[in-house]
Amino acid sequence: MTVSGFTFNAFSENTYLLHDTTGQCVVIDPGCYERAEQDALRTFIADNGLEVVLLLNTHCHIDHVFGNKFIVDTYQVPFLIHEADLSTLRAVPSYAPNYGFPRFEITEPTGFLTPGQPVHFGETEVEVRFVPGHAPGHVVFYHEPTQTVIGGDVLFKGSIGRTDLPGGDYDTLIESIRSQLLTLPDSVTIYPGHGPATTVGAERRSNPFLQ
């Protein structure tokens, strides 16, 4: 499995494409709001001969869902989130204009993710892990063969996700990290929703929130 990343919008949000040798592709947290950002994503998909088959959100804060409608409308694919984050998604239109994004349009999910059950595309299977605390329905996606986690806004290089937004809780977030991420091998790479990639081992050793 290959991970391809893009950084979009004023929040410097990381959007990820997961794809394998079959050419099938999953889009995770599309942050593309401006036309140029949408075109960059569409061009990469076309130039690499990828077939988008699924849209996933780790969680539904504004910066991670800008491109949901674009992906669903363009590629006509299922869209899945954790059900506990549905209210987070539905709240976005009420505050998006206040952040300077008046054109945001919500797209409702077509189904829900179940923690512990795999998501399949091409020849690839990724595991859904439930990690609330930053958002009530936050999940991450773990691919054991490549030792890869698409981590959203749970664990960053030297930091953790904020917990002062609606539905956030510091103690819940720390427990999620300890039970769902720090139980993975040190070699696992975490691709976060903002900033550079890190590893479980690096954060276990030096992240000040986890000491």
Tens digit of each residue's pLDDT (9 = 90 or more) over 137-156: 999 999 999 999 999 999 99
Q: Please state the pTM of the whole predicted model.
A: 0.97
Position 22 scores a pLDDT of: 98
Position 7 scores a pLDDT of: 98
For 78-109, write each residue's pLDDT tens digit.
999 999 999 999 999 999 999 999 999 999 99
The average pLDDT across 57-70 equals: 98
Position 50 scores a pLDDT of: 98
Position 210 scores a pLDDT of: 96
Domains by residue range for the chain, with CATH: 2-105+112-210 (3.60.15.10)
Position 120 scores a pLDDT of: 97
**What is the pLDDT of the chain when averaged over all its residues?**
97
DSSP secondary structure of the chain: -EEEEEEETTTTEEEEEEE-TT-EEEEES----SHHHHHHHHHHHHHTT-EEEEEE-S---HHHHTTHHHHHHHH---EEE-GGGHHHHHHHHHHGGGGT-TT------SEE--TTSEEEETTEEEEEEE-TTSSTT-EEEEETTTTEEEEETSEETTEE----STT--HHHHHHHIIIIITTS-TT-EEEESSS--EEHHHHHHH-GGG-
Q: Angle 60-65-67 (CA atoms, 0-180°, nearest 5)?
A: 165
